[in-house]
Amino acid sequence: MAPPFIGTVAQVILDGYPFWVLPGSYQVLRPRLRKAMPRADLGESYVDFGPGKRQWKFVVLALNDLTNYDGTPTSFTGQEYHDVLQASYQKVNTLLTFVDPANSSWQVRFEHFAATVPDLRSQLNGVGYHVDVELVEG
């Protein structure tokens, strides 16, 4: 397989591996950091610290028979996509490199992993998973 590049063999890259994302699932969040505290006069003191760290949420298609943009098959099965994501998730105190669809590179922590089987009957043939991924800027 050629090195993973956005727009050629992947939509996102995490920990050096290319992944395809379920359409409509990709989100980038930038929550504000704020703090509200009660005051002695029963009012509320409010402090806004500005934007927090970026968060990415998306669903990876860990399916068999995925193809690259040029129509050639990817070199991974659905189970292999799943296993690679799970291995990255299990790394402790490790920053991972994430390349987003705009081809920007970020250092992130793997915050959440949840695999869903879209159709249990198709899973008998090893069709694959939808994997919910949440990343937080490192």
The rounded radius of gyration (Å) of the Cα atoms in the chain is: 19
As a whole number of angstroms, the distance between CA 124 and CA 39 comes to 60
For residue 14, which of 130, 94, 70, 127 has the smallest C-alpha distance? 94
The better pLDDT of the pair 42, 135 is held by 135
Contact 114, 77 (CB under 8 A): no
Asked whether residue 18 is assigned to any structural domain, the reply reads yes
> Domain range holding 37?
12-137
Asked whether residue 22 is assigned to any structural domain, the reply reads yes
Asked whether residue 3 is assigned to any structural domain, the reply reads no
pLDDT at res. 3:
55
Asked whether residue 1 is assigned to any structural domain, the reply reads no
What would the pLDDT profile of 63-117 be if each residue is shown by its tens digit? 988 998 889 999 899 999 999 999 999 999 999 999 999 999 999 999 999 999 8
Mean pLDDT computed over 30-34: 92
Exposure of 88 in the CB half-sphere (CA atoms within 13 A):
27
Contact 49, 34 (CB under 8 A): yes
**% pLDDT > 90, the chain:** 67
Residue 123: pLDDT band (50, 70, 90) is low
Asked whether residue 64 is assigned to any structural domain, the reply reads yes
Asked whether residue 2 is assigned to any structural domain, the reply reads no
Number of domains in the chain: 1
CATH of residue 76's domain is 2.40.30
Exposure b/e, 63-90, CB count within 10 A at least 16 = b: bbebebeeeeebebbbeebbebbeebbe
Asked whether residue 112 is assigned to any structural domain, the reply reads yes
> And the tokens for 15?
């920990």
Asked whether residue 97 is assigned to any structural domain, the reply reads yes
Residue 122: pLDDT band (50, 70, 90) is low
